[in-house]
Structure 1
Amino acid sequence: MYIISKLKKKGVVIVKKKTTGERLLTLGTMIIIFIIWFMITKLGLADQKLVPSPKSVWAAFVDIMQNGYKNYTLLEHLGSSMNRLISAFFSAIIIAIPLGLASGYSSKLRALLEPIIEFYRPLPPLAYYTLLVLWLGIENKSKIALLFLACFAPIYISCVSAVIKVKEDYVNSAYTVGANKVQIFIYVIFPACLPDIFIGLRTALGVAYTTLVSAEMVAANSGIGWMVLDASRYLRSDIIFVGIIIMGITGILLDKSIQFIENKVVPWKGRE
């Protein structure tokens, strides 16, 4: 894991790894949260139906791992959710990045697409999910389409913003050495946009994950989000906690995967 420490040393922003002390602070925070959770349930400060004990959550996890939940194993529930999420995420990447970069490069294209993006972006997912179900059916197509729309806007906006704020000095310098527009885009604009593109990807993934539960609310019988919703109908807070913890962990792992790729693709990020 990386943090950016802005040290005024020769005008360079230095990116360094998280120190041992900072790792211990992170671990300490997690331990404190677990202790508070344990003490609340141990002392009976909260109803077990609302806040299950760590022991009951672990027992629910083991039971679901061994016996599954509603005819599906835990891995099948997780696989269904990841299939919907990753399919929508990569579809958004393929379409939103080229459109966003082109819109940043062309004010006319930006004027054409921005009203559409800005109109649907603030809408709650459930506001138009019913329409997607009517148009695409109740199977995975409507769910993937909902997640695609959730991913598309953050990626598109980050790409447009990245192109707009590329320094003109970089472009003019490329022109002076004889570069054409295609070469400028490939060798100047696109590399300069990569840090913002990865920020957009991380934001889009987070938004899509929060939308996943909405996507699995209608006519689904599998998925981590569906499992949490179904368990809530029967006040199975232990299963709800299992689902939330799994979603949190997988969300962190997916985000770390993007960060890992970013560190390999954009090694100059964080330097001035």
Structure 2
Amino acid sequence: MTTLDQAPTELAETKSRFALRLRIEHALTAGTVVSLLALWTLLSHYGLVNPLFLPSPEAVWSSFVEVLTKGYQGQQLHQHMEASLARILAGYFTACVVGIPLGLLMGLSTRVKAVFDPIVEFYRPLPPLALYTLLVMWLGIGDTSKIALLFLAALPPLSISAMQAARSIDLGHVRAAQMLGATRAQLFRHVFLPSCLPGICTGMRISLGFTYTVLVASEIVAATAGMGWMIWDASKFLLSDVVIMGLFVLGLTGLALDWAIRQFERFVTPWRFA
């Protein structure tokens, strides 16, 4: 059998192994979810944990149905979700528009890095609530200060990941393209951007998580709608079933947005998933 004859067989075996590995991963994921739900059900059913701290799955589901149909504090569940998603997406996409180009420039120019990197690194570890008090003083208690806080939370992961992606480009690829007569525009499109996209997409996923992390902090001041506000308000009245339900809804929407970013990554970097 020649090498050409062996190639299709090896390709089929590789695809088969990949499919098997994917099925195993999916089975492990499903098993983990089912096991956690079973443990939760057993703990609540036998009263091993106070229902005030860990309500049963049935109680959480009942809270979901009630908030979905009757609302919470005068707002329907979809209105709380719309308010939160509007703030998250406004802050997140603004951070993408600013942070990704800024990070690429910081990776390409030491002077740009010297100007902006100290600013990003200084405020990056600051607690969100500490920043929010200052933003409220500057921008008021409306949505502007909330979106600004989410923007500031999302910016550092985006700019740092883009900067590292730009600095890790293989110079051999750049020189090879230059020897073939590539123009600056061609270098950017065919060498620079494809090399940076994986790191940028990773930064986008991390940044989205940071945005969700500070959502509650951004909605606890002068808000009347939003998932973070609903969770915070329910916690004041010890409504743990509403709190856990809100966390589940936030987590599921976060997974959906993360899935969308991963699909975008597959679209812009298809060679990594071939």
2:55 aligned to which of 52, 57, 68? 52
C-alpha contact 2:266 2:273 (8 A) present in aligned 1? no
**CA-CA distance at 1:22 after TM superposition:** 2.2
The structure where helix makes up a greater share of residues is 2
* Residue of structure 2 in register with 1:4 after alignment: none
Q: CA RMSD in A?
A: 1.8
How many residues are paired up?
A: 261
2-structure distance, mates of 1:220, 1:16: 48
The structure where strand makes up a greater share of residues is 1
* Residue of structure 2 in register with 1:157 after alignment: 160
Structure number with bigger Rg? 2
C-alpha contact 2:107 2:164 (8 A) present in aligned 1? yes
User: What is the 5 A alignment of 1:151-190?
Assistant: 151-190=154-193
* Residue of structure 1 in register with 2:199 after alignment: 196
Structure 1: which 5+ residue stretches go unaligned?
A: 1-8
1-structure distance, mates of 2:123, 2:190: 33
2-structure distance, mates of 1:268, 1:113: 33
Q: Give, as a single letter, the amino acid of the residue that structure 2 aligns with 1:72.
A: Q
1:257 aligned to which of 247, 255, 260? 260
2-structure distance, mates of 1:21, 1:106: 45
Q: Give, as a single letter, the amino acid of the residue that structure 1 aligns with 2:264.
A: I
Larger mean Cα displacement after TM superposition, 154-163 or 94-103? 94-103
Cα deviations by residue, 1:19-44 (Å, 9 ceiling, x for unpaired): 22321221111111011111111111
TM-score by length of 2: 0.91
Cα deviations by residue, 1:79-100 (Å, 9 ceiling, x for unpaired): 1000000011111111111111
1-structure distance, mates of 2:223, 2:153: 19
Structure 2: which 5+ residue stretches go unaligned?
A: 1-9
**CA-CA distance at 1:149 after TM superposition:** 0.6
Cα deviations by residue, 1:156-178 (Å, 9 ceiling, x for unpaired): 00010001000110111122122
2:238 aligned to which of 235, 238, 243? 235
1-structure distance, mates of 2:99, 2:114: 16
TM-score by length of 1: 0.92
1:42 aligned to which of 20, 23, 45? 45
2-structure distance, mates of 1:83, 1:219: 16
User: What is the 5 A alignment of 1:73-222?
Assistant: 73-222=76-225
Q: Give, as a single letter, the amino acid of the residue that structure 2 aligns with 1:172.
A: R
2-structure distance, mates of 1:91, 1:156: 12
4+ runs deviating over 4 angstroms: 13-18
Give the secondary-structure state (helix, strand or coil) at the position aligned to 1:19.
helix
2-structure distance, mates of 1:204, 1:242: 24
